[in-house]
């Protein structure tokens, strides 16, 4: 049951480029799908930002009283590097790359990275989706969709692949607003371009075990699925197809919300719309949400520059996953966010202060309806988490609300924020060794005795062990130094 009658959730829809009043397909229910990770490598904090952003939205919808079915898929076959980089169907196969690198089977690779990812997203306190389908578990459904497209004349075969014919799709580029004549995306100029492709933007539905894919590790024989239509033989699905097929199988022909990174707009999601709408004869997605990327030091994250940080890098420096979650809450999902160690430190300080404050307040209060209404207005405005978070601080300063009511209200908001604000702050610097702990205690003592010389000597010893210290009033904050 919806808790508030005058609710007007507004969502910026990439398709119309407008903020629209949200109307679900079915009263009070939401079908929500987020494109998930490829299980070939550890997920960096940019990937994790996209998970946290979807979680803020998922939690907001539930807070507003909707019954949400949330799906996030796992890609474990068929995703080529060109699919994200602007040239669909080209480049290296990500799973194949991992198989070679680690000498494990495709299933072992997928399981390994799925486990690591699920541990990370649990630490970030994200709600686990209702469904987490893997592409390899939905091969028959993908083939069924290819069959429908072939039957209706939207697909054709070459010796290398089955393609979707983008010239047959009505308004193919409507999500990105690109000009069809220029074929700006997916222009097929990469190494495995098929000369029998009819239009540069046509994309693969099924790769045959041939050409660049003749040594593919994961293939299926389509006859195993009793395909009566064409002898299109052994192969593997193209990446875009999996989301269309799994979305249909788990949520139906039309979804309420679909979310993904902005890089998906011109290729992946454009292709999903074309294949789903023409196979199903139904609208595919009513509201498209695209999140902007995380930058590090104002640049694209990069493995070669050592800025593709993992959650474990954050933890090694003594920060907690909730510190990172707090950091993510400070930027709107449609804005870029810049990560620096200083900004993470600021989030850490703010979260610590917030938790100390909340746990010190008395229990037994009731929720302030005025503030709850304000909070709802913020999240109903295209899920504005930075403003929702600012409201928490505003409430703490408001003398007209009693301490116990402040606590009850903020803990109610925490259903959306997911910061576990009722958790007493553990002693900081959790990762340090006993040796450093002892040195810190000695230094604390020296500082209390105003023995600055000794305090400096101890700082030097701690520096030599790879840590900097920030003196914060009476507290010493330990920061692991960057390895040069
Ligand atoms: P991938 O495994 O590369 O397909 O990426 C998995 C998810 O992470 C996708 O939804 C991307 O949109 C998202 N993603 C990748 N890099 C970033 C970034 N720097 N900031 C935010 N999201 C990202
Ligand atoms: Zn997808």
Q: Is 31 helix (H, G, I), strand (E, B) or coil?
A: strand
What are the φ/ψ torsions at residue 266 (nearest 5 degrees)?
-75, -20
Predicted confidence (pLDDT) at residue 83 exceeds the cutoff of 50: yes
What are the φ/ψ torsions at residue 445 (nearest 5 degrees)?
-60, -45
Q: Please tell me whether the overall predicted TM-score, pTM, comes out greater than 0.95 for this model.
A: no
> Is residue 194 located within the same domain as residue 299?
no
- Orientation angle between helical segments 452-464 and 434-448, nearest 10 degrees: 160
Domain contains 424: no
Question: Alpha-carbon distance 131 to 36, whole Å?
Answer: 11
> Is residue 272 located within the same domain as residue 317?
no
Q: Which CATH number belongs to the domain containing residue 380 in this structure?
A: 1.10.730.10
Measured by CA distance, the residue closest to atom 1 of ligand 1 is 37
Sign of CA dihedral 322, 130, 41, 89: negative
To which residue do tokens 């209404």 refer?
A: 373
Domain contains 426: no
- Report the domain count for the chain: 3
Instruction: Please work out whether the CB of residue 34 comes within 6 Å of at least one atom of ligand 1.
Output: no
> Is residue 303 located within the same domain as residue 286?
no
pLDDT at 260: 98
> Is residue 365 located within the same domain as residue 283?
no
Question: Alpha-carbon distance 353 to 368, whole Å?
Answer: 22
Question: Alpha-carbon distance 109 to 115, whole Å?
Answer: 10
Per-residue pLDDT of 310-365, as tens digits, reads 999 999 999 999 999 999 999 999 999 999 999 999 999 999 999 999 999 999 99
Per-residue pLDDT of 124-147, as tens digits, reads 999 999 999 999 999 999 999 999
> Is residue 258 located within the same domain as residue 327?
no
Average pLDDT over residues 297-309: 92
Predicted confidence (pLDDT) at residue 230 exceeds the cutoff of 70: no
Question: Alpha-carbon distance 266 to 288, whole Å?
Answer: 13
Domain contains 427: no
How much of the chain exceeds pLDDT 90, in percent?
A: 68
Domain contains 428: no
> Is residue 208 located within the same domain as residue 286?
yes
pLDDT at 100: 80
Per-residue pLDDT of 438-452, as tens digits, reads 888 899 899 889 899
Least confident segment among 80-94, 255-269, 347-361, 458-472: 80-94
> Is residue 192 located within the same domain as residue 207?
yes
> Which of 261, 293, 332, 339 to mutate for ligand 1's pocket (most ligand atoms within 8 Å of CB)?
261
Q: Which CATH number belongs to the domain containing residue 253 in this structure?
A: 3.40.50.620
> Is residue 206 located within the same domain as residue 304?
no
Element (H, E) at 32: strand 29-34
Measured by CA distance, the residue closest to atom 17 of ligand 1 is 46
> Which of 50, 135, 272, 307 to mutate for ligand 1's pocket (most ligand atoms within 8 Å of CB)?
50
> Is residue 214 located within the same domain as residue 357?
no
> Is residue 337 located within the same domain as residue 377?
yes
pLDDT at 30: 98
**Distance between Cα 310 and ligand 1 center (Å):** 13
Q: Domain range spanning residue 438? A: 434-480
CA distances from 23 to 10, 240, 415 (A): 9, 27, 23
Q: Cβ distance 349 to 374 under 8 Å?
A: no
Domain contains 460: yes
Q: Cβ distance 301 to 394 under 8 Å?
A: no
Question: Alpha-carbon distance 205 to 157, whole Å?
Answer: 10
Domain contains 244: yes
Which of 234, 268, 291 is the last residue in one of the domains?
291
Instruction: Please work out whether the CB of residue 50 comes within 6 Å of at least one atom of ligand 1.
Output: yes
Predicted confidence (pLDDT) at residue 226 exceeds the cutoff of 60: no
Predicted confidence (pLDDT) at residue 5 exceeds the cutoff of 50: no
**Distance between Cα 136 and ligand 2 center (Å):** 14
Per-residue pLDDT of 168-219, as tens digits, reads 999 999 999 875 444 444 434 333 578 899 999 999 999 988 888 888 888 8
Question: Alpha-carbon distance 212 to 31, whole Å?
Answer: 37
Least confident segment among 103-107, 336-340, 365-369: 103-107
Instruction: Please work out whether the CB of residue 260 comes within 6 Å of at least one atom of ligand 1.
Output: yes
What are the φ/ψ torsions at residue 285 (nearest 5 degrees)?
-135, 130
> Is residue 366 located within the same domain as residue 439?
no
Element (H, E) at 205: strand 203-208
Instruction: Please work out whether the CB of residue 308 comes within 6 Å of at least one atom of ligand 1.
Output: no
> Is residue 308 located within the same domain as residue 258?
no
Domain contains 475: yes
To which residue do tokens 């028959």 refer?
A: 140
Which of 366, 383, 417 is the last residue in one of the domains?
417
Which of 272, 291, 310 is the last residue in one of the domains?
291
pLDDT at 3: 52
Tokens found for residue 24: 């679900």
């Amino acid at each position: 049951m919806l808790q508030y009658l005058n609710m007007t959730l507004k969502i910026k829809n990439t398709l119309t480029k407008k903020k629209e009043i949200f109307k679900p397909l079915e009263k009070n229910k939401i079908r929500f799908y987020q494109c998930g990770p490829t299980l070939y490598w550890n997920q960096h904090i940019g990937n994790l930002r996209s998970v946290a952003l979807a979680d803020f939205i998922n939690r907001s919808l539930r807070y507003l009283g909707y019954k949400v079915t949330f799906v996030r898929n796992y890609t474990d076959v068929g995703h080529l590097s060109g699919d994200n980089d602007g040239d669909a169907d080209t480049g290296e196969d990500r799973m194949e790359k991992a198989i070679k690198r680690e000498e494990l089977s495709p299933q072992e690779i997928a399981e390994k990275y799925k486990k690591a990812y699920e541990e990370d997203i649990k630490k970030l306190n994200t709600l686990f989706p209702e469904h987490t389908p893997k592409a390899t578990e939905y091969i028959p459904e993908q083939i069924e969709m290819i069959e429908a497209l072939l039957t209706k004349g939207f697909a054709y075969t070459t010796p290398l692949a089955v393609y979707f014919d983008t010239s047959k799709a009505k308004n193919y580029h409507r999500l990105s607003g690109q000009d069809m004549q220029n074929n700006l995306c997916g222009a097929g100029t990469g190494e495995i371009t098929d000369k029998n492709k009819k239009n540069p933007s046509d994309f693969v539905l099924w790769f045959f075990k041939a050409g660049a894919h003749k040594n593919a590790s994961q293939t299926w024989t389509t006859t195993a699925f009793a395909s009566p239509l064409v002898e299109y033989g052994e192969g593997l699905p193209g990446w875009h197809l999996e989301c269309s097929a799994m979305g249909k199988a788990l949520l139906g022909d039309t979804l309420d919300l679909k979310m993904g990174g902005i890089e998906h707009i011109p290729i992946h999601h454009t292709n999903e719309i074309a294949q789903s709408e023409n196979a199903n004869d139904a609208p595919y997605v009513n509201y498209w949400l695209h999140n902007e990327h995380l930058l590090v030091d104002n640049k694209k994250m990069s493995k070669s520059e050592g800025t593709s940080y993992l959650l474990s890098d954050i933890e090694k420096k003594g920060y907690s996953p909730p510190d990172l979650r707090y950091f993510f809450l400070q930027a709107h999902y449609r804005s870029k966010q810049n990560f620096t160690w200083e900004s993470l430190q600021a989030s850490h300080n703010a979260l610590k202060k917030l938790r100390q404050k909340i746990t010190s307040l008395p229990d037994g209060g009731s929720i302030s309806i005025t503030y709850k209404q304000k909070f709802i207005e913020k999240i109903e405005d295209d899920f504005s988490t930075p403003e929702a978070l600012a409201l928490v601080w505003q409430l703490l300063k408001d003398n007209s609300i009693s301490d116990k009511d402040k606590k009850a209200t903020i803990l109610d908001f925490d259903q959306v924020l997911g910061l576990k604000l009722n958790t007493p702050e553990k002693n900081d610097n959790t990762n340090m060794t006993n040796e450093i702990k002892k040195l810190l205690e000695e230094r604390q003592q020296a500082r209390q005795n105003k023995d600055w010389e000794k305090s400096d000597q101890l700082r030097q010893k701690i520096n030599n062990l790879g840590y900097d210290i920030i003196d914060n009033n009476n507290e010493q904050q330990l920061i692991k130094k960057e390895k040069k």
